[in-house]
Amino acid sequence: MNPHGIGMTSDRTRQRMIDRLRLRGIGDERVLMAMAQVPRHLFVDEALAHRAYEDDALPIKYGQTISQPFVVARMTEEVIKHHNPVKILELGTGSGYQAAVLGQLVDQVFSIERIDKLTRIARRRFIKLGYRNIRCKTGDGFEGWPSEALFDIIIVTAAPEKVPYELLDQLEVGGKMILPVGNKKQQKLIAIVKESHGYKKEMLGEVIFVPLLEGVVR
Ligand code: SAH
C-alpha cells in the first residue's frame, strides 16, 4: 500500500488545514511547511483518519489524545522562535505527531512516553515514515533523559499540576521549556527561559492537555 494511505485526498485536506491555521494566526511559514509535510492521518486510528485534518484533538489508544493541530502549531512556533534549536526533548510522545513535526525542523528529537504500548506504536510509525532523527523511549518524563542532556528545548505535551523545575537542570543556559500547567479543567501554556542565574517565565495562553502522570505503564 502507498505509505501515505489515502493519498491525494489527504494532500488536499491537509492543505486546507494549513490554510485554516494561517487564518487563525499561525504566521511562521516554516511551521506551516512542516505541518504540510507530516501525514497526520497516519497518526490516528484508521476509523478516525477522515477527521485527521480537522482542527481537533482526537482520541488515540489508552485514553490519550493527539493534540489539536492549532496547539501543535503554536507550540512549534514557540520552539523555533528560539535561536536555532538543535536538540529537543519532548515529554509525552503519544501518537508521535508533535515529535514528527519538530523532526522536520530540528536536527534531533528525543521523546519520552510513559505508556509502553504507545511508545512502540510511535516508534513503528517513525520507522515506517523514515523519520530517522527522532528517538523515543518508555519512561517517566518527570525524570527527563539525563544521558542525552543538555537540550535546547524541553516541550511538554501533557500537563503537570505544578512546574517541574528540576527539569531545568537538563536545559542549556538560554534554553526554553514550554509546557501546560494546571488541573484537568484549567491550564496555562507557559514558556520558561533558563538564565545563568534563575529563569524567566512567560504566559502563552489557555490550553487543555491530558495530565502528566508519574510512573511507567508496561
Ligand atoms: N505529543 C502527543 C500528545 C499526546 S497526549 C501527540 O502529538 O500525539 C500526552 C501523552 O503524554 C500521553 O500519551 C500520555 O501517556 C503521556 N504522558 C503522561 N504523563 C507522562 C510522563 N510522566 N512521562 C511521559 N509521558 C507521559
Each as own residue / partner, the long-range contacts of residues 171-178 (CB below 8 Å, 24 or more positions apart, any chain) are 174/83, 175/82, 175/150, 175/151, 176/78, 176/79, 176/82, 176/152, 177/153, 178/75, 178/78, 178/79, 178/153, 178/154, 178/204
pLDDT at 12: 92
Q: Quick check: 101 and 34 in contact, CB under 8 A?
A: yes
* Ligand 1 atom with least separation from CA of 72: 7
pLDDT at 154: 98
Ligand 1 centre to CA of 155 (Å) is 11
Q: What mean pLDDT value characterizes the chain? A: 95
pLDDT at 1: 47
Per the annotation, the verdict on 147 as an active-site residue is: no
For ligand 1, say whether the CB of 95 is within 6 Å of any of its atoms.
yes
For ligand 1, say whether the CB of 160 is within 6 Å of any of its atoms.
no
- Running DSSP on this structure, what letter comes out for residue 159? B
* Ligand 1 atom with least separation from CA of 140: 23
C-alpha cell at 26: 499561525
Ligand 1 centre to CA of 119 (Å) is 10
Q: Residue 26's CB: how many other CB atoms inside 10 A?
A: 20
- Running DSSP on this structure, what letter comes out for residue 211? B
Beta strands in 42-186 (DSSP E): 58-59, 65-66, 87-91, 108-113, 134-138, 151-156, 171-182
216 domain-assigned: no
CATH number of the CATH domain containing 29? 3.40.50.150
pLDDT at 10: 86
Number of structural domains found in the chain = 1
2 domain-assigned: no
User: Ligand 1: which of 70, 71, 109, 114 to mutate, most ligand atoms within 8 Å of CB?
Assistant: 114
pLDDT tens digits, 138-166: 999 999 999 999 999 999 999 999 999 99
For ligand 1, say whether the CB of 116 is within 6 Å of any of its atoms.
no
215 domain-assigned: no
Residues with Cβ within 8 Å of 17's Cβ and at least 6 positions away in sequence, in order, are 35, 40, 53, 54, 55, 69
108 domain-assigned: yes
Measure the N-to-C terminal CA separation of the chain; round to a whole number of Å.
31
β partners of residue 155: 90, 178
Q: Report the amino acid identity of residue 40.
A: R
Ligand 1 centre to CA of 61 (Å) is 11
15 domain-assigned: yes
pLDDT at 7: 64
Question: Nearest Cα to 156, choosing from 63, 89, 69, 71?
Answer: 89
The residue contributing the CA closest to ligand 1 atom 2 is 94
Which residue segment(s) compose the domain that 17 sits in?
7-207
65 domain-assigned: yes
Residue ranges in the chain modelled with pLDDT below 50:
1
**HEC sequence for 73-102:** HHHHHHHHHCCCCCEEEEECCCCCHHHHHH
172 domain-assigned: yes
36 domain-assigned: yes
pLDDT tens digits, 87-116: 999 999 999 999 999 999 999 999 999 999
Q: Quick check: 185 and 162 in contact, CB under 8 A?
A: no
pTM, full prediction: 0.96
Ligand 1 centre to CA of 8 (Å) is 30
The residue contributing the CA closest to ligand 1 atom 4 is 94
For ligand 1, say whether the CB of 118 is within 6 Å of any of its atoms.
yes
For ligand 1, say whether the CB of 142 is within 6 Å of any of its atoms.
yes
* Ligand 1 atom with least separation from CA of 97: 7
